[in-house]
Amino acid sequence: MDKTLLMYARYNQRANEAVIALLDRLSIEELNKDRKSYYKSLSGLMTHVLGGATYFFGLFRSAAPSASKALERADGLSCPEGEALSASQWSEFKRAASLCDELMIDFVEAASDAELSASVKIDWYGGKPDAVPLAFLLHCYFVHGTHHRGQISQVLDSMDVEHDFSGLDLEFFQK
């Protein structure tokens, strides 16, 4: 297990909880309103992040057979789809997002050094490279979430919603 990856998995969980708690104070109409961004709405951004998690989980499983047991509870997990989420879909999204963050921590804790070094086939970059180490993909996963939380921060700024996603909340800084 890589302690830095575990630190990021735990940070990712705390950051996602904070964003979801903030978004949960908005009405479903505000969550679904087209904000003229690539994923249109805040709910669109959040469902993209969840869809990304399930995509990455598939890649992770192929490289880490023993650690992949930690992802079994994600079997059958789906991301709400559609132009706008209903209140019940938002509730389901929150449950699924929380589960994904839990499972990611469990997966990183279970991954051996050999599994973290294992090559994972990818179809990105036009096939060059055609495979990358699992540890690299884990970093991509965490960067993906951070990137989209930054987009959410920009949307919230435009809505004049008070928030602070700029602080570093990493374990080695904590006393």
Pull the structure tokens for residue 76.
Answer: 């059958």
| Whole-number Å distance between alpha carbons of 64 and 52 | 18
Q: Has residue 47 been placed in a domain?
A: yes
Q: Has residue 175 been placed in a domain?
A: no
Among 55, 59, 58, 56, which Cα is nearest to 120's?
59
Among 28, 38, 35, 36, which Cα is nearest to 84's?
28
Tens digits of per-residue pLDDT, 71-120?
Answer: 888 888 878 877 789 999 999 999 999 999 999 999 999 999 999 999 99
Q: Has residue 170 been placed in a domain?
A: no
Q: Has residue 45 been placed in a domain?
A: yes
* Owning domain of residue 26: 3-164
| Whole-number Å distance between alpha carbons of 10 and 19 | 14
Q: Has residue 131 been placed in a domain?
A: yes
Q: Has residue 171 been placed in a domain?
A: no
Q: Is the dihedral of CA 7, 9, 14, 15 positive or negative?
A: positive
- pLDDT category of residue 125 using cuts at 50, 70 and 90: confident
Q: What is the CATH number of the domain that holds 91?
A: 1.20.120.450
DSSP, collapsed to helix, strand or coil, labels residue 119 as strand
- pLDDT category of residue 20 using cuts at 50, 70 and 90: very high
Please report the pLDDT score of residue 143 as a whole number. 94
Pull the structure tokens for residue 102.
Answer: 């839990």
Q: Has residue 127 been placed in a domain?
A: yes
Tens digits of per-residue pLDDT, 43-65?
Answer: 999 999 998 898 899 889 888 88
Among 170, 144, 167, which Cα is nearest to 6's?
170
| This prediction's pTM | 0.89
Cα–Cα distances in Å, from 61 out to 6, 74, 75, 134, 172? 17, 11, 11, 10, 28
Q: Which amino acid is at 123?
A: D
Domain count, the chain: 1
